[in-house]
Structures are given as C-alpha cells and as structure tokens.
Amino acid sequence: MTEKYDVIIVGAGAAGMMSAIEAGKRGRRVLLIDHAKKIGEKIRISGGGRCNFTNINTHPCKFISNNPKFVISALKQYTQNDFIELIKKHDIRFHEKKLGQLFCDESAQQIIDMLLLECEAANVILKVDTLITDIDKQGDKYFAVIDSNKYFCDSLIIATGGLSIPKIGATKFGYDIAQKFNLNIVETLPALVPLTFSEKILAICKELTGLSVEAVVSFKKILFQEGMLFTHRGLSGPSILQISSHWKLGKDIKINLSPKLPIIKFLTDKKNSNPKQDINIIISEILPKRLAVIICNENNVSGNICELSNKILVKLSNSINAWSINPTGTEGYRTAEVTLGGIDTNEISSKTMMSKKHAGLFFIGEVVDVTGHLGGYNFQWAWSSGYVAGRYA
C-alpha cells in the first residue's frame, strides 16, 4: 500500500507541530508522525511543568552554533512576539518569572493542547505510536516506510529533536537520516546539564546538598550570574547549566561565590576595624553558614582575624571570589535539557531550513546545530525554525 502527502513531518514535538500547523494552513496535505504514544512530552515536563515557552529578550546572541548568524533569519520570520500572540489567541495566561522568561500560569499541557488544536484546524493528520523503519528518496519524492507501507511526500521535515532524556522518546533518528543523505553533523554533546566532580569537590557538594547561592560561573570569558545549587552528584542550578554548554572537558571553571563583594577589601577592613572577630563568623556574614564553615576548613583558617596573615586572607578571598574547579564531566543525556551540536548549519538554508544538497528535505528544532541558552530560547528556536520550514515545505 502507498499513500501520498505533500508534506511528511517526523517528530511531533515543539518544532514538528509548529511546522505542521504552518504547512497545513497553506493548504498542504500534511502527515505528522511520532513514535511516542504521547506527543509533546518535552513540552509537558519543561519549566517545572509550566513550560518556559519563550523569552522576551530573544536575540541571536542567546544561541550557540558553529555559525552564530544562522538563527537570524528564522528568528526574524517568526519572533517571540508572534508566539506570544498565539498564546493570547488561545487565552493562555502567562507571566514573566525573571530575565524575560515567560511561563504558563497554569500548566505546560495548555501549550500542547493549543498546538494540537491548531494542527486540527490546519487539517494535519497525526499518527502517533508509529515506527518508521526506513526513509528514502524515489525520483523527486521522499518516502517513509511504516509496516511495509510507503508514505510518499514532496517535502520531508525531520523534527526528531536531540538526544537528551531518552526515556521520554529521544532518539538519534534525525542524525541517522542526515548521515544517510551525506550531510555533515557537528559533534553532539549534552548541554544545559549539571556538572560532576572528583572526590574532593564531590564531598563538599554532598555536604552542602540543597544549598543554593547566587554566583558568577565563568569559563574563559563567558560568564553567567544566576543561582548555583549544590547536589549530591555535583553542581547544578541555572548558572552551572548555562556554563555547561560552553565548558570543555579537562578545563577549569571559575566560580565567584560573592559576586557583589570583593572579599579581600572586606577582610582587610574587618582586620582593621574588628581584629578580635572570629573568621568563621566574618565569612558567615557574607555566605550561608554551612558554606562559610567549609570554606574556612578547606583553607585551614580559624580564630581571630588579626592572627591571619595578609597572604592567607588573599588565599581565602580567592577561594570565594575566584574558586577554580575542574569538572570531571556532566550528568549526560539522562538529565541534559538539550543537545549541543547536530546537523551542520552549512548544510541548510537559514531562510527555509531546507537542505542545500537535497531539495525538499528539511531539518528543524533541536536536531540542528543550534542550542539556546537556558530561559525559553530553545522553544523559541523550535517555534521559529518550525514556522519557517512550514512556510516553504
């Protein structure tokens, strides 16, 4: 048996649904296929169940790619404001949490329901729980093989996402298709992911599990100032997740645990003004007590501040303002929010998201070598790239 469609989209996540809606609105006969029983699972679990669906500060500088200019066209063709309009049209209430991050007031499920309604209105045919065993090209048509049946189309859109959280349906399908069509792939790595450490630092993290501090975390010249969380596996929290997308294995990251205060000046002033004050109590004035105790122990300091040499005070302040540590790795795809790397943007038109080598073959969303910072940028990339492909497929 064979069936014919104008557009077949593989992957009914954020990008796939968006492209299906746009292609459907243009009157294209669209088949949207997903192997999962429940679609939009990443949307459902995102933003702690409230989906940080976009960021009002969306700008190309918030995306990592071998070609940083690649995102410009899609982000212009479908902006954060366009998505906000769609949300408003469906009466979904939302709020800004911080730093321009927009979340649903109620539930991420509202976004999935909205996309499904839009798909229905655009006459998109949705096939879930469906295994594609092959994808190929015959003449100028692409086809997907499902249960030995061939589903032909003029335009094939690959929207199978990245590798993170395999337990909810992530696969390497998109990369395999790219390889089959001889497209280059930029090395993939887990990103927006907690960092892990060897014994000594891990012991500190374990002791401080659950403690969150505002910190500046940097790698080379890239820095992020947000919360940092100690966990029983290492370090997490927004600033760590952000730096994980830039950090390179074997290199150190630097952490400023007291970004607002140059500690050496503070300690020198204290030594002059209150020489008999205990160093543990002084450090507890600027850091949570548990952390202050550990820092003093690690630096072997105790007693009155007047008993500590200036050299020791410099060492102590460096361990607070410039704590340099060497992650041994990341928690990997099991907990990573996104995948760094993917289909090389040199292979794709930034205007249409279509392969430059294979007319009619499109790649969108996270499977492409575009990774947003934390804060709603990854969904905005899914909406923008999905919209663009839907306009041209």
Q: Is 341 helix (H, G, I), strand (E, B) or coil?
A: strand
* Cβ proximity to ligand FAD, 36 vs 264, nearer residue: 36
Q: Does 110 bind ligand FAD (CB under 6 A)?
A: no
* Cβ proximity to ligand FAD, 159 vs 263, nearer residue: 159
Give the separation between CA 255 and CA 320, rounded to whole angstroms.
8
Q: Does 382 bind ligand FAD (CB under 6 A)?
A: yes
Binding track over 303-332 against ligand FAD, x by CB under 6 A: ------------------------------
* Cβ proximity to ligand FAD, 10 vs 208, nearer residue: 10
* Cβ proximity to ligand FAD, 166 vs 303, nearer residue: 166
Q: Does 231 bind ligand FAD (CB under 6 A)?
A: no
Q: Which residues of 56-81 are buried (b: 16+ CB within 10 A; e: fewer)?
A: eebeeebbbbeeeebbebbbebbbbe
Residue count of the chain: 393
* Cβ proximity to ligand FAD, 142 vs 266, nearer residue: 142
DSSP code string of 112-163: HHHHHHHHHHTT-EEE-S----EEEEETTEEEEEETTEEEEEEEEEE----S
* Cβ proximity to ligand FAD, 224 vs 323, nearer residue: 224
Please name which of 205, 203, 158, 179 lies closest in space to residue 386, comparing C-alpha atoms. Answer: 158
Distances in Å between the alpha carbon of 223 and those of 226, 266, 328? 10, 23, 19
Q: Does 92 bind ligand FAD (CB under 6 A)?
A: no
* Four-point Cα dihedral 65, 70, 73, 78, nearest 10: -20
Please name which of 256, 248, 245 lies closest in space to residue 377, comparing C-alpha atoms. Answer: 245
* Cβ proximity to ligand FAD, 172 vs 315, nearer residue: 172
Answer for which of 171, 274, 277, 304 binds ligand FAD (CB under 6 A) is 171
Q: Does 268 bind ligand FAD (CB under 6 A)?
A: no
Q: Is 255 helix (H, G, I), strand (E, B) or coil?
A: strand
Q: Does 151 bind ligand FAD (CB under 6 A)?
A: no
Q: Does 15 bind ligand FAD (CB under 6 A)?
A: yes
Site residues for ligand FAD, window 347-366 (CB under 6 A)?
365-366
Give the helix ranges, DSSP H, for 170-321: 173-180, 199-207, 238-244, 263-273, 279-286, 289-298, 310-321
* Pairing mode of beta strands 30-33, 125-127: parallel
Q: Does 389 bind ligand FAD (CB under 6 A)?
A: no
Give the separation between CA 189 and CA 159, rounded to whole angstroms.
18
CB of 121 to ligand FAD, least distance (A): 20
Give the separation between CA 391 and CA 136, rounded to whole angstroms.
23
Answer for which of 9, 104, 124, 161 binds ligand FAD (CB under 6 A) is 161
Greatest CA span in the chain, whole angstroms?
88
Provide the CB-side half-sphere exposure for 108 (13 A, CA).
20
Give the separation between CA 136 and CA 5, rounded to whole angstroms.
15
* Cβ proximity to ligand FAD, 129 vs 285, nearer residue: 129
Answer for which of 7, 8, 14, 263 binds ligand FAD (CB under 6 A) is 14
How many chain residues bind ligand FAD (CB under 6 A)? 36
Give the separation between CA 327 and CA 23, rounded to whole angstroms.
45
Answer for which of 7, 282, 338, 340 binds ligand FAD (CB under 6 A) is 338
Q: Does 373 bind ligand FAD (CB under 6 A)?
A: no
Residue range at the interface with ligand FAD (CB under 6 A); choices 20-28, 43-51, 208-216, 243-251: 43-51
The residue with its CB nearest to ligand FAD is 13
Site residues for ligand FAD, window 179-208 (CB under 6 A)?
none
CB of 367 to ligand FAD, least distance (A): 6
Q: Is 226 helix (H, G, I), strand (E, B) or coil?
A: strand
Residues in contact with ligand FAD by CB under 6 A are 10-16, 33-36, 39, 42, 45-47, 51-52, 132, 159-161, 164-165, 169, 171, 173, 337-338, 365-366, 376-379, 382
